[in-house]
Structure 1
């Protein structure tokens, strides 16, 4: 069968003549499970917007079936939800012709019991909001499902349910996540956003971790940004037992470092979303002073997020070596 999408020498950006990604030569079929890798700021979200039809190519060709449906879940949707809305009101807009009992039954299938269906969104947990949005995105059986950090607000049971649903899903998936275990369990191919383009990545998650660390070292990042914590110097050769104890962090320490880095990335990602919302408002109001201040804040937050991502990858790599 023909591919769902085919990109040939394509470029895409937000302003004419200023591409964020260029020379895209990619093909995606109905049974593909693509893991999209890349540090923050490398263009992963731009690529997702292109596939979701939120952006158009500036140059080259983008072939896709006109009837192709794309479902797109990203964290900004959670931030943008109206806190005064209720799940029942939201599902009413998605299923206007259905009966109330059918809509309530569908919400129950989403994991929202009757007592939660009339609760305002502002009173729902982050996991409940994420489950609601994930199910709404997938409700129309899209041919391609784009999931951008889908597990940030989900508990363990919800993550397992998401994994089961993805394994049963018959369409194509583009997955963007810091959750390494989810990436390894879902993706059968890896694409890498780097150097202003997206290309197939020949390697696994260990190879990607090494790639990011090598890039960070080449960029002259500080050692504290590359490792979750300083590694003790090796003991003298005459004392092998002491050397073993001081050879590096313990598995429990590394697991703690992984969790801490994941929490930091989630916090900084939310901060970036809020700053972007404030930037849009300042631009609409033509407030140059606020735009300048928010621009500096965004640059710092992005740098902190890049450092947190590097620390997470370093901790994951170190944990895999000692596990």
Structure 2
């Protein structure tokens, strides 16, 4: 079992992503890597894997260290290969003959259904593509496993399985996990590295305990900075007074002392580090007022797939103001179809028999793929044409949401998944709804963005219907919980019992 050491490692893009990073990863380590979108998590993982070079510092690997990196997207050259062939090609070429047993062993370990094993990667669901990439890295028997957003596209059953698997794998090889899922990080990591442009901070604790320590660390840094700047102000005032005394009295000693105090003030000011700011802007939700108490009434409605196959029936359901309804269920149960059906009923009155909406209802809709965003249009043109804010105001609201002028001019299709998510939430805000219909709204949203969305929903007393696999998000905002199970939908007290059934 080897190790990897980082010594004063830094990466400089347009601005520093991180710098002076010192870290040792060794046997049994399970490290959570936490940072905002675009802050360097994927870059650091590529540096660890040897696929990218840091701008400064050095990375020292044990001789012969084998590293498995699982990136967020399926490499194009693997899309037309079967899942079995993907694992076969991950084996050392000298060991491939007669190694079918190893492929079957890993496929069994990942509980892969027989009908998926010969299916091309492009035909697999997003969740199975993620697991296939992890299995591909694992079959090569790495000494270090690097996982970049491994929970993307996983349903709860697979997410719980992966938590357990990483816990077991961590005893055989160190694991570094970059993730925005707070519960996932708590479940499968023992250390946390908060990656920052200035001073990165690490703690030998899972995410939530580490986050509390980080908040205390930041508060202490804030207090120290205020103390230092107060001393700078005092020294400068004293230096000016001494200078005046020296000039008026002709005292060289007073002027020398004044110059010394001024230099001391400048040194203190230069040494006071700028405090870390998590993001350049934020997205705030707004809610349009309505006097209606009940916004949606549903009676005897069948929720079906696009080809007409019935999934479940809703005998009766009312959505009142300030209800925050979380829809739970296994993948394929019909959560997304329900949210989509409600959106159609809200935007096309009387189009869905059995669903009546208040005339004052103004829906805001986000689906998990952000398909409402036009891929070829720039972010600036999308906001400008959709909401008619004018050129300068459109640029301003995009800047507030963290989009630089350069990013505003890129086609939406070229934005990162995290940036698309932020743009989709900005459009949601600007539509000024009074009911939010949210299908996996936290997909690809970083932890600060998730916490901001939670806070805004709570602060605005928003009415919303949400389908989400993010347990922290669900627990923060939910006031009512609907469970879709075995072709029926029923209201339950909370999500915990459902989560236990998904853990098996």
User: How many residue pairs end up in the alignment?
Assistant: 275
Q: Is the 8 A contact 1:43 1:193 kept in 2?
A: yes
Alpha-carbon distance change, 48 to 110 in structure 1, aligned in 2, over 3 angstroms:
same
- Partner-residue secondary structure (3-state), 1:40: coil
Alpha-carbon distance change, 202 to 115 in structure 1, aligned in 2, over 3 angstroms:
closer
Equivalent residue in structure 2 for 1:48, among 45, 48, 55: 45
Residue number in structure 2 paired with 1:10: 9
Residue number in structure 1 paired with 2:90: 94
When you count helix as a share of all residues, which structure comes out higher?
1
CA separation in 1, counterparts of 2:416 and 2:117? Answer: 39
Q: Is the 8 A contact 1:38 1:193 kept in 2?
A: yes
- Partner-residue secondary structure (3-state), 1:56: coil
Verify: 1:205 aligned to 2:208, yes or no: yes
Equivalent residue in structure 1 for 2:76, among 75, 80, 83: 80
- Partner-residue secondary structure (3-state), 1:132: helix
State the Cα RMSD in Å.
4.5
CA separation in 2, counterparts of 1:199 and 1:292? Answer: 29
Q: How far apart are 1:186 and its partner, in Å?
A: 1.1
Alpha-carbon distance change, 138 to 82 in structure 1, aligned in 2, over 3 angstroms:
closer
Q: Is the 8 A contact 2:149 2:179 kept in 1?
A: yes
CA separation in 2, counterparts of 1:219 and 1:19? Answer: 15
TM-score of the superposed pair, with normalisation by structure 1: 0.67
Q: How far apart are 1:100 and its partner, in Å?
A: 4.7
Alpha-carbon distance change, 200 to 265 in structure 1, aligned in 2, over 3 angstroms:
farther
CA separation in 2, counterparts of 1:184 and 1:48? Answer: 20
Q: Is the 8 A contact 1:29 1:172 kept in 2?
A: yes
Alpha-carbon distance change, 249 to 62 in structure 1, aligned in 2, over 3 angstroms:
farther
Residue number in structure 2 paired with 1:117: 117
Q: How far apart are 1:208 and its partner, in Å?
A: 4.2
Q: Deviation per CA, 1:218-264, whole angstroms, max 9, x where unpaired?
A: 84535329xxx79xxxxxxxxxxxxxxxxx97774699xxx99xx97
- Partner-residue secondary structure (3-state), 1:61: strand
Q: Is the 8 A contact 1:43 1:196 kept in 2?
A: no
CA separation in 2, counterparts of 1:265 and 1:143? Answer: 38
Q: Is the 8 A contact 2:190 2:204 kept in 1?
A: no
Alignment of 1:1-323 (within 5 A): 4-13=3-12, 20-76=17-73, 78=74, 80=76, 82-95=78-91, 96-98=96-98, 100=100, 103-104=103-104, 106-169=106-169, 170=171, 171-195=173-197, 198-200=200-202, 204-205=207-208, 208=211, 215=277, 219=280, 221-224=282-285, 252=325, 267=369, 295=410, 297=412, 298=414, 303-306=419-422, 308-309=445-446, 310-314=448-452, 315=454, 316=472, 319-320=475-476
CA separation in 2, counterparts of 1:317 and 1:206? Answer: 18
Q: How far apart are 1:321 and its partner, in Å?
A: 9.3
Q: How far apart are 1:71 and its partner, in Å?
A: 1.2
